[in-house]
Each structure stands twice: as C-alpha cells, then as structure tokens.
Amino acid sequence: MSIQQQRFPIENEAERRKYLLDLEATLTGTDIQDPALPSTPMSVRGFDAKARESGLDWPTTALTMVGSRRLRNFRRVIEYAVTGGIPGDIIETGVWRGGASILARAVLAAHGVRDRKVIVADSFEGLPPPNATAWPADHGSRLHEYSDLAVPLEQVQANFRKFGLLDEQVVFLKGWFRDTMPTVPSEQLAVIRLDGDMYESTIDPLTHLYDRLSPGGWVIVDDYWAVEACRLAVHDFFAQRGIEPKLRQIDAIGVYFRK
C-alpha cells in the first residue's frame, strides 16, 4: 500500500513505524533525491543527503525544508505527548508547504488519536518585512524578499489532501502572527513548533501560546542556531518569564525544551 492510500489507525507497531518513516522520506524529498531550489540561500546545490538530513537546504518540490532529524524530533515529541498523556493540540507557526504539519497530522492518525487538532499557522504569503522599530533584532532581515517562501493556503491544503490527511482535525490559521496568535483556537497545547525565522515571528507565538502549553509539553525552536534574532527572542522570553528551561539539541540548527 502506498503512503497516499494508508488507512488509519495503524494498529501494528512495526507497520506504523514504517509508514511514518516512509512519509518522512517523502516529505523531505529524500526518497526521490529532490535537488535544492536554485534560490536556496545556503550554498547547497543539487541533492546533498547530509544537508537534507539536517535541513540545510530548501527542496525543489518536497514539502518540508526542516530535514529528517528535525522532522523525527517533531514525530517523537508528539508520540511522547500521546503515549505519555500530555494533553493538548499541536501547533506549528510557520509551515511553508506544510510538510512538518502533515507529519504531525499523520502521527495522530496513525495512533488513532481523534481528540487533538493540528493547528497550521502561517501568513501563506511569506515572511513580513522587518519592523526594526518594534523589533531591532530583525533589522536587515531580507527573508520577506524570497517569493519561494510564500506558499498559498490552497496549495498547503492540497498538500495535506494528497496524503489523505486533510480533515476537521486540521485547522488553518491565516495571517500575520501578531494578529493570529491571540486568536489561536485551542485552550490547551501539547507541542508548539516555532518556525518563523525572525525575532517577531518567534516572540509573538511564544508570548501568546506558552501559557496554554500543558506542563510536560514541548516547545521546538526550529531556527535557534540558524537565525540569531530567533535565539535572542527565545532568551528575551525566558528573561521576561524568569524561566531557564534546559535546551536540548536536535541537530546543528534546532533545539527543543520542555515546560
């Protein structure tokens, strides 16, 4: 059976594992050796297996740029929340073509979880121009100039549909995080995956979502070592809250911590 035709839930543990690993290979483009986009700002050209493992390039057609290791981390923390009884929904802030969020929905489906949502938050128009008056750390960011980062909502929905994973458990939240984060349709979160690449795009979700994170829930910071402004936002948030969670390394770029 192809991953597009998979039926849920998957009772057999080995089959579930195989489905999620096959899906990971497809979502990262590792299965077809999908080359890096020519516009990728990193110096990766063609298909470089090591770069794709660590999410160091932007694939041409595959649905996520986070790479296999960060995708696996996302799967594991969701599975931990499900099997460990940490209540709440899953949210990704910054989804691009939707690949990581598709994996999140697949994990819930594979485990037969019906009472948790995957919230998919993005402008679906790319990144905002920097507002250096409000957020000096974003001064000089040019990511808003990359049209390859603007993926329309309908395209992301079609990407979920391709895998049979577009249903009422997926909630799309369109708009700038500064406007949408106060309106997130969830009382309780188990996993927050931050992937907005800027100070503003990291601090807004953290500020509005952290209080809804269940004790024992996880925050994943995709860009921690790649974008200094993102790192600053995380530590400014910790200082504001007077917390010092232990940061755990995922790969050379991403970290995660537990509430």
Ligand X SMILES: C[S@@+](CC[C@H](N)C(=O)[O-])C[C@H]1O[C@@H](n2cnc3c(N)ncnc32)[C@H](O)[C@@H]1O
In the bound state with ligand X, the residue whose beta carbon lies nearer, of 175 and 216, is: 175
- For the bound state, the minimum distance from the C-beta of residue 118 to ligand X, rounded and expressed in Å, comes to 12
**Alpha-carbon dihedral of residues 185, 212, 194, 238, nearest 10 degrees?**
150
Cα distances (Å, whole numbers) of residue 120 to 15, 53, 137, 233: 27, 23, 26, 21
- For the bound state, the minimum distance from the C-beta of residue 150 to ligand X, rounded and expressed in Å, comes to 6
32 to 71: interface string for ligand X, x by CB under 6 A: --------------------------------xxx-----
Residue with tokens 């250096």: 132
In the bound state with ligand X, the residue whose beta carbon lies nearer, of 38 and 242, is: 38
User: Could you give the CA distance from residue 107 to residue 124 in angstroms, rounded to a whole number?
Assistant: 23
The region of 93-101, 229-237, 238-246, 250-258 touching ligand X under the rule CB under 6 A is: 93-101
117 to 146: interface string for ligand X, x by CB under 6 A: -----xx--xxx------------------
- For the bound state, the minimum distance from the C-beta of residue 172 to ligand X, rounded and expressed in Å, comes to 12
One residue of 34, 138, 200, 251 binding ligand X per CB under 6 A: 200
- For the bound state, the minimum distance from the C-beta of residue 197 to ligand X, rounded and expressed in Å, comes to 5
In the bound state with ligand X, the residue whose beta carbon lies nearer, of 12 and 223, is: 223
One residue of 8, 47, 146, 176 binding ligand X per CB under 6 A: 176
One residue of 24, 201, 218, 220 binding ligand X per CB under 6 A: 201
How many residues touch ligand X under the rule CB under 6 A: the total is: 23
- For the bound state, the minimum distance from the C-beta of residue 121 to ligand X, rounded and expressed in Å, comes to 7
- For the bound state, the minimum distance from the C-beta of residue 74 to ligand X, rounded and expressed in Å, comes to 9
The region of 32-40, 76-84, 191-199, 208-216 touching ligand X under the rule CB under 6 A is: 191-199
Write a three-state SS string for the chain: CCHHHCCCCCCCHHHHHHHHHHHHHHHHCCCCCCCECCCCCCCCCCCCHHHHHCCCCCECCCCCCCHHHHHHHHHHHHHHHHHHCCCCEEEEECCCCCHHHHHHHHHHHHCCCCCCCEEEEECCCCCCCCCCCCCHHHCCCCHHHCHHHCCCHHHHHHHHHHCCCCCCCEEEEECCHHHHHHHCCCCCEEEEEECCCCHHHHHHHHHHHHHHEEEEEEEEECCCCCCHHHHHHHHHHHHHHCCCCCCEECCCCCEEEEC
- For the bound state, the minimum distance from the C-beta of residue 161 to ligand X, rounded and expressed in Å, comes to 17
List interacting residues with ligand X (CB under 6 A).
64-66, 92, 94-96, 99-100, 122-123, 126-128, 149, 176-177, 195-198, 200-201
